[in-house]
Amino acid sequence: MVTSIAAPAFADAYGIALYGTHYLDQGNITVEVRGGQYYVSDVLDDDGPVIIKNHEDESDTTSVSNTITIHAEDGEANVTLKDVDIVTNGEANKSGITVKADKTKTATATVNVTLDNVTVDAREDASSEGATGGAGMTIQGNGVVNIELDGKNELLAGDGHAGLEKNRTESVGSLNINDSNEDGGTVTANGGDGGAGIGGGKGDMGSGLYILNGTVNAYGKGGGAGIGGGDGAGAHMVGLNAGVPGVNDAYEPTVTAVGSEGAAGIGGGKGGRLTDAVLSSGTLTGTMETLEYLQAHGAQTIVFTTSQRTSSFQISDLLALADEGDVFYLTHTEANEPTLLEG
């Protein structure tokens, strides 16, 4: 049991700043919400939200190798990561950021994470024999994880992992990516060999992935989808602005999703397939190879749908308008007069 007298002494001994802002250069940081109370690295904190930065000295812009874990067993955790730069040095299966929401039969669990100028590089370190790296950010559990985008954010994965990883085997909850204040927040997620940009690692299905707003760039590698499954795996429940009609229906996310080596831009990794997708208001960008892959696997039409309107695109029409290396831009508009293609 940690008392109000012992907590500051414990915190000072381990370099943990209490009540509000915490600094990653002082060690790994674990934020847990249990019974509605916040604990930071096992020390009772205030009632949140928690802010995590790399350094107390804002002029210090060096990266750190320490990691962040955020876990809500019940209730709601609110955490902001600001000016965080993590380089894991390619340690095998080590993610820079891990977020887990665990709901029970009697309690819900939600983790709200704001990424504000965050970079995580979990790629393989060539100097470390046998290391394969990890995910830039990993989502786990059966609850809801909401990511708010502020500033420019980048997640880079090592071999076998997704940049922003949400494996079906580890997470049956939902991941929502948003820029609710519409301030131009972005995230770029690059998978390692066999991993999706956003979704599953190698051999793992990506599921419960929803992009509500903001600019999202996702690049698979070695058979990984841009958004969806890793190499050899499919994808389930992927949505662009698949939100609540009348609440976020007006949002128009801009999504660039590029699959690799036979994988879809949005959907299954190489050899996998997509089930239950909702592509709503927004702009979908990809290469002609992605359309060829979809057509080869039986897809004929791409449909954007909201509560008020529907736009549909025939894949054969798009393929007839462009060369193999061209890029397509599908935009859902109120006038239902979308831009079909720009070379």
Percent of the chain scored above 70 by pLDDT?
Answer: 76
Q: What is the mean pLDDT of the chain?
A: 81
pTM for the model: 0.79
Burial of 322 (0-12, 13-18, 19+ CB in 10 A): middle
Residue 206's pLDDT band, with cuts at 50, 70 and 90, is very high
For residues 98 and 71, what is the distance between their CA atoms, to the nearest angstrom?
8
Query: DSSP labels for 68-126?
Result: EEEEESSEEEEEEEEEEEEE-TT-TT--SEEEEE---SS--EEEEEEEEEEEEE----T
- pLDDT number for residue 237: 77
| pLDDT (tens digit per residue) in 16-70 | 344 589 999 999 999 999 888 899 998 887 677 999 999 999 899 999 999 999 9
| pLDDT (tens digit per residue) in 91-106 | 888 999 999 999 877 7
pLDDT at 341 over 50: no
Which has the higher per-residue pLDDT, 306 or 274?
Answer: 274
- pLDDT number for residue 291: 76
Burial letters for 105-114: b for 16+ Cβ neighbours within 10 Å, e otherwise?
A: eeeebbbbbb
- pLDDT number for residue 332: 60
Q: What is the mean pLDDT of residues 221-237?
A: 90
- pLDDT number for residue 324: 56
Across 46-50, 79-83, 213-217, least confident range: 46-50
Q: Taking Cα atoms as reference points, which of 215, 213, 222, 274 lies closest to residue 249?
A: 213
For residues 127 and 11, what is the distance between their CA atoms, to the nearest angstrom?
35
pLDDT at 261 over 90: no
pLDDT at 322 over 90: no
